A = this chain, B = another copy of it.
């Protein structure tokens, strides 16, 4: 394969990849939330194996992006944080999934 086929290709054969979701730590979080629809802090901490600080930080970023909703409540005076994917978040994940499948399935069709 040489390059002289077309002078200016610019073919975005590859879709943009959502870096917010792409980051493995957040990908784990989002993928988990996608199936359970709602999970608390401890659940995510155990599922992802992230440290509390790190998990909190990633949740903050997902919240800033509008991908998750964070609800803080008290259960018997004990703090309880519940995280839920927003519609935007679900769509973003589905879109990301589609992008990645496109990339990973590029077995021949390119051109």
B103 touches A31 (CB 8 A): yes
Using an 8 Å CB-CB cutoff, how does the interface string of A42-73 with B read, 1 for contact, 0 for none?
Answer: 11011111000000000000000000000000
Most central of A10, A36, A46, A104 by chain B CB within 10 Å: A104
A22 to chain B: closest residue by CB: B24
Partner of A108, one of B1, B2, B35, B39: B35
A45 to chain B: closest residue by CB: B3
**Residues of chain A from 6 to 61 with CB closer than 8 A to chain B in the complex:** 6, 8-14, 17, 19, 22, 24, 27-28, 31-32, 34-43, 45-49
Residues of A within 8 A of B (CB): 1-4, 6, 8-14, 17, 19, 22, 24, 27-28, 31-32, 34-43, 45-49, 97, 100-101, 103-104, 106-108, 110
